[in-house]
A and B are shown apart, each in its own frame.
Chain A
Amino acid sequence: MTEYPSRRDPKKVITAAAVVVVIIIAAAAAIMFNPFQQRTLTVYTYGSFMDWGDNNDTDFFGPFEEKYGVDVVIDRRADDANTLVAILEAESANPIADVVIGIDNILILEEAAKSVLAPYTPINLSLIDDSIVSALDPEHYVVPFDFGLVTIIYSMADMNTTTHPELANLTFADLARPAMARALVTEDPYLSSPGLAFLLTEIAVHEKLLGTDWTDWWSDVKNDIDIQPGWSEAWARWYTDPTKHMMVSYGTDPAYSAYYTQTEPDVGTAPIYYNGEHYAWMQVEGMGLVKNGPNPELAKLFIEYCLSPAVQMYVALNQWMFPANMNVELDSAFDYALKPDEVILLNELLNQTEIAENLASWKSEWNDIIRG
């Protein structure tokens, strides 16, 4: 028995391990549940909110924090705005958030979205163009934070208006040709807001301009078009796969490219063309008061503040959308962006009532075509 290794008492080992674990958890709890915190205003938003540039939350909201002696927590709570609404709904018995930013002009049509919000008309809404306010929500459950145009972009390294003259006046018929359809990446309309905007673009153009059945185009391209779950995946595919030249994205992409490469942009926009005019869908992203939120008065002041130039001046370069407040001056890179006055907005053809009535069946018809 002399070679038998010495043993520690198992009870001691278990106790020691348990003590260590308890101390770690207690320490973490003590750090996280700090009772001496300043009063906070909680803002729920989606993952990429104002995170595209060189500025940070302190630049945007620091002045508000100082003025009102409050800690503003920008909680990028979910990947997408639909999940944000589901979370607000789950928390509705005991809301944590005061303000939510990111509910757009389609999501607000869902009953679920309105059920977690309280309508509020800020004084600073006078700074915003009426057409944008009513394109988002005439009832003001949400008011505009920013807006952007969803359009097809193309990589200039792969194609341009000389090699592909149709890019200058692109139609869905052009895109239905197999060579073009195979080069196009779009996003899933169930899971991605630009993907949904593209579906609505396609529906509006066919039903309202061409007067044809919208489902035919999807039947034509369904074996060639590349549909990715979200914008990030679509961009990764577009960038990585040398056979993909076009993508459904935002009209500000050329501006982004010009700003970061400090040269002429390597990305072009190709809005849909019909009868002498170009068309695009406008996405308006809104912010609203969370119903029964903990600090309603402060939340109202925050929404006023977000509409003011103090925040709006940062929108262009940190969000790569157009600021809702149009008095704000844009960086010169935005000269390359597709601008609202260059196109007719498809939102004017397809009104919100019609969308609200048909959205669920459109999506499910789309699903039947693609996976049928």
Chain B
Amino acid sequence: MRNGSTATYVIMALPLLLLMGFLVYPVLGVLILGLVVGPGSSFQEVMSSQVTHATLWFTFLQAAASTILAVVLGLPGAFLLARLEFKGKQAVRAAVILPFILPPIVVVVGFLRMFGSYGFVDSVAMALTGSTESVVNFAAGVPGIVLAHAFYNIPLVILLVSAALERLDPDIEDTAELLGASSIQSLRRIVLPHIMPSLLSAAILTFLFCFMSFPIVLALGQGRYMTLEVLIYYAFSSFDFGMTSSIAVIQILILMALAIAYTAAIRSDKRDAGQTSFIKTIPITELSAPGLLTGILYALLIGVIVVGPMIAVIDSAVFDPVTGQYTLKGFLHLLEVEGGLLPLTNSLFYATLATLFSVVMGIPLAYSLRSRSGLLSNSTSVMILLPLGVSSITIAYGLLRLIAVPTGWAANPWPLIIIAQTLIGVPFTARAIENSLRGIDPSLLEQADSLGANRLQKLFFVELPLLAPGILVGAAFAFAMAIGEMSATLFLKREQNVTLAVAIYENLGVRKFVEAGAASLLLLVVCFIAFLVIQRASESAFKGAI
């Protein structure tokens, strides 16, 4: 922002002001209300409680374990996706993100069928060992929790890291090879530093997701484990607003530490962005035999973990457990206005606008994150992570009590639902775009300057095309977050605002299992199409930029 004009400052400040108004104000507002007015436990009581300490530890450890597993399982996928050239790559990329949108209860059922006692994996193990009793159960306890968290977050690692890899300069790799570097050396010295920022972003987002996890931990942990978020729900449902606020304060403190550590880690990385370019890709047909084998084995592993539970969704769309029969009534229900058309329209309307807004907000926020002012970049970093790192019930309650009720929006809260869904998309767009921004060669911008481009032309014709991979990934996740959003939507929605994700949950609540299954399948199909459209749109919009 060297030649910063007033307009630039306004554009930079606008998203920050919106975040202050629709996120920081309601969150801090209800926290202060809870701590000062209550009713319920005091901050000191909560902080000194043994339960809080034990829960904090467990929350932290399971999140760390889940993050490590998601990164380990996701990284090879990121390399394959960036490096390999194959037919249907776009479809694979669009499919990879699908686990992200499934409601937890749907994932839990898929996990039980795949990894539970007498499930698919167990049946294979029983056949191998010749046992008639259940041998393995990966859908219970801590292994179940960690595996389910990996299921949700592998897409994040694969897509964020592969977006960074696509900008890896092939010349450096060639030079390293020419100078006799082994592939391990080149991986460690060239590739790893290049993907580090995006890997860190993926890891921090994954960690936050697992840190905030709530239904997965309760359902797969069979009630024996709980996270801070569970405690918040306990406190909230017992009207102990003092405790709700106290734990949310702990969450915010942890979040701030994470956000600032992340910014510091990125800052210590002083390398200049190299020349902007595209990674060298290999057609799949030219892969060596061992390479191909490893690739296939990896695809199988991911297939079992990620695709397996999703197959259960397809089955649940047509099989009615109450009558024990296959039926199409789930799909017929979708054709009714209340059953499928209204939730679908709402979902698409909210999610599309939320995605658009979070991309538009994400671009200036990414520049703020890159700002030389430590205060600006740190506070932006904290603010954009807030929607993921502070209890969703706190945000939803804050929005309802401090914004919807005073403004009268509570009667028809759709603008607020879009705002809530935008807020949870912003962490993805801002981070993903920031990662791309890092890869832009400053000399390109200088050239544009010297050729007489104005700020807008430079942004549109030089920067945005270079940011395209980041925008694409950010938009895809923003869409996924928005369309899968449950907590705030559930809390704010009136009868006319039901979305597909909410409809799935409501159907399951009244034993309408096939109706829920069909709605889940529809959600998956709609998202798959949406991700393809997002890819196409970003490619055609920015093609031929360089």
Find out whether the CB atom of A48 lies under 8 angstroms from the CB atom of B509. yes
Tell me if B508 is interfacial: C-beta within 8 Å of chain A. yes
CB-CB contacts below 8 Å: A24-61 with B = 24-25, 28, 32-33, 47-48, 51-52
The answer on a CB contact under 8 Å between B117 and A243 is yes
Instruction: Choose among A33, A237, A360 the residue that contacts B219 (Cβ–Cβ < 8 A).
Output: A237
Binds B, one of A78-86, A136-144, A272-280: A78-86
A370 within 8 A of B: yes
Q: Mark A174-208, 1 if CB is under 8 A from B, else 0.
A: 00000000000000101100000000000000000
For A93, the chain B residues whose CB sits under 8 A away are: 405-406
Q: Is the CB of A233 within 8 A of B108?
A: yes
A228 and B322 contacting across the interface, CB-CB below 8 Å: no
- Give the contacting residue for A243; candidates B118, B410, B460, B544; CB below 8 A: B118
A334 at the interface (CB under 8 A from B): no
- Greatest chain B CB density within 10 A among A48, A75, A240 is at A240
Q: Is B294 an interface residue (CB 8 A)?
A: no
**A67: CB under 8 A from chain B?**
no
Partner of B353, one of A24, A77, A94, A111: A24
B residues less than 8 Å from A10 (CB atoms): 456-457, 459-461
B188 close to A (CB within 8 Å): no
Q: Given A51-B510, A96-B410, A242-B117, A228–B223 Cβ distance below 8 Å?
A: yes
Measured between alpha carbons, how far is A327 from B405 in the docked complex, in Å? 42
> Is residue A213 within 8 Å, beta carbon to beta carbon, of the partner chain?
no
Over the window 244-257 of chain B, the binary record of Cβ atoms lying under 8 Å from chain A Cβ atoms (1 yes, 0 no) is 00000000000000
Nearest-neighbour CB distance to chain B for A54, whole angstroms, equals 11
From A13, A91, A256, A260, give the contact of B400 (CB < 8 A). A91
**A82-120 Cβ-contact flags toward B at 8 Å (1 or 0):** 110111001101101000000000000011100000000
Give which listed residue, B238, B400, B508, contacts A236 with CB less than 8 A: B508
Residue on A with the closest CB to B110? A240
In the docked arrangement, what's the CA distance between A335 and B409, Å? Answer: 48
Q: Are B412 and A232 in contact (CB under 8 A)?
A: no
> A13-B460, A191-B234 given as contacts; is B322 within 8 A of A28 (CB)?
no
Asked if A298 lies at the interface with its beta carbon under 8 angstroms from chain B, I say no
Q: Is the CB of B134 within 8 A of A243?
A: yes
Shortest Cβ distance from B11 into chain A, in angstroms? 11
Interface residues on B, range: 35 or more
Q: Which of A24, A47, A87, A261 contacts B506 (CB 8 A)?
A: A47
Alpha-carbon distance A21/B397, docked complex (angstroms) = 28
A239 within 8 A of B: yes
A229–B234 touching, CB < 8 Å? no
B106 to A: closest C-beta gap in Å: 9
**Interface assignment of B218: CB less than 8 Å from any CB of chain A:** yes
User: Is B267 among interface residues, defined by CB-CB distance under 8 A?
Assistant: no
Query: A344-372 interface mask toward B, CB cutoff 8 Å, 1 = contact, 0 = none?
Result: 00000000000000001001000110110
A165 within 8 A of B: no
Of A90, A111, A223, which is within 8 A of B397 by CB?
A90
| A82 shortest CB reach to chain B, Å | 4
Neighbouring B residues of A227 by C-beta, 8 Å: 218, 222-224
**Does A300 have its Cβ within 8 Å of any Cβ on chain B?**
no
| Contact B223 A188, beta carbon cutoff 8 Å | yes
Q: Across the interface, do A87 and B491 meet the contact criterion of CB distance under 8 Å? A: yes
The contact string, 1 if C-beta is below 8 Å from chain A, for chain B 500-524, is 0000011011110000000000000
**Residue A235 lies at the interface, judged by CB distance under 8 Å to chain B:** yes
The 10 closest A-B pairs by CB, nearest first: A227-B223, A10-B460, A90-B401, A229-B218, A82-B237, A112-B239, A48-B509, A240-B112, A190-B234, A75-B495
Interface of A toward B, CB cutoff 8 Å: 5, 7, 10-11, 13, 21, 24-25, 28, 32-33, 47-48, 51-52, 73-80, 82-83, 85-87, 90-91, 93-94, 96, 110-112, 188, 190-191, 222-223, 225-229, 231-233, 235-237, 239-243, 256-257, 260-261, 360, 363, 367-368, 370-371
